[in-house]
Structure 1
Amino acid sequence: MDLTVYLATMLKSLRQGRGWSLSRLAEETGVSKAMLGQIERNESSPTVSTLWKIATGLNVPFSTFIAPPEEETPRAYDPQQQAMVVTPIFPWDEKLHFDLFSINLAPGALSESTPHEAGVIEHVIVISGVLDMCIDGQWRTIAAGSGLRFAGDEAHAYRNSTAQTTHFHSLIHYPKEKAAGKPAAKTTTTNESDNPE
């Protein structure tokens, strides 16, 4: 199945399964009713950031929309060759409650992410290039071989300020139960030199 067709079908199925109208879905996700209708009719492919909003509003993992279960090899989500290309490495795991993605961010690209559901922890590891991340309103630079762990239920942003594509992995860990408040995990930076030989 074409990935955009799968996405459109999955969105409509999830919305109808909840008994929601397009208006209700728009309220829950912060995405316009018109855009949601276009996505469901496969007339428009959402950006990665829009798809994150939809997944968060529906309280489902991001890979729900881009990793059809019948596919052995997940494909990259690259609508209209956008600046951020997301490929599932390990799609949603029901037992372990995580998604793991390989992400390429084009030179000069900026991607802003709305907060995920309460209790989500994100781990970012830069494979090649340099990644800037905005957490708690502060920009941090992460070099290849280093990582950052942070609470994903706060707004955050990814930026590539260089002339080369930045490649990083993102592991999104979802709570097994709805968290009552913020997760206990703090923002943590690691790099190869922090690890004992």
Structure 2
Amino acid sequence: MDIAYYLATTLKRLRQQRGWSLSRLANETGVSKAMLGQIERHESSPTVATLWKIATGLNVPFSVFIVPEHHDPRPVYDPQQQAMVITPLFPFDKALRFDHLSITLAPGAFSESTPHEKGVIEHVVVINGILDLCIAGQWQTVSANHGVRFAGDQTHAYRNSTAETVLFHSLIHYAQTP
């Protein structure tokens, strides 16, 4: 499966289902109209941070863009060989309203996530290494076999300040939509 192509077609389908122009999508997501057009035309792959903005603006789970229903094996999202790699362990579950992602951060990697929609709760559990986690401007260190639960509807960031790759899981619970 070509994840970038799937992402492009999914973005276009979701935008068209809503009857939105690229301009409206840009306003809702905070991603430029030019970048959104390039993604839809499969000319560019968004960074993880950009894809989070798009998912949040469309009010859809992150994994919707990288995992077709009933697809196996699990895809890996590594845009342009970036320092953050995301592998869905359990793609979005409609009944339970969660994504469960495995995330690796290369040494020195940093990724900031824009606030998710209101009511989202995120659980981060470090499997290997030491993760720096910033929630609402406050940095904390999370070591292996420890976790943090926080409201995902605020800015948060992940940083690997060590020389070793960090592996952590992110379980994201999405609020019920009216």
Answer yes or no: same fold by TM over 0.5. yes
Normalising by structure 1, report the TM-score.
0.89
1:17-32 pair list within 5 angstroms = 17-32=17-32
2:44 is equivalent to residue 51 of structure 1: no
- The 2-side partners of 1:37 and 1:137 are apart by 32
For 2:72, the equivalent position in structure 1 comes to: 72
Across the aligned residues of Structure 1 and Structure 2, the Cα RMSD in angstroms comes to: 0.8
The runs of 5 or more residues in structure 1 that have no matched partner are: 179-197
Could you report, residue by residue, the CA deviation over 1:146-187 in whole angstroms, capped at 9, with x for unpaired residues?
A: 000000000000000000000000000001235xxxxxxxxx
For 2:121, the equivalent position in structure 1 comes to: 121
2:143 is equivalent to residue 143 of structure 1: yes
- For the pair shown, the structure with the greater C-alpha radius of gyration is 1
Normalising by structure 2, report the TM-score.
0.98
- The 1-side partners of 2:20 and 2:136 are apart by 33
Q: Percent identity?
A: 72
Aligned residues of 1:68 and 1:74 also touching (Cα < 8 A): no
1:1-197 pair list within 5 angstroms = 1-177=1-177
Aligned partner of 1:175: which letter? A
- The 1-side partners of 2:60 and 2:175 are apart by 11
> What secondary structure does 1:80 align onto?
helix
Could you report, residue by residue, the CA deviation over 1:88-139 in whole angstroms, capped at 9, with x for unpaired residues?
A: 0000000000000000001011100000000000000000000000112110
Moved over 3 A (4+): none
> What secondary structure does 1:116 align onto?
coil
Following superposition, the deviation at residue 70 of structure 1 comes to 3.9
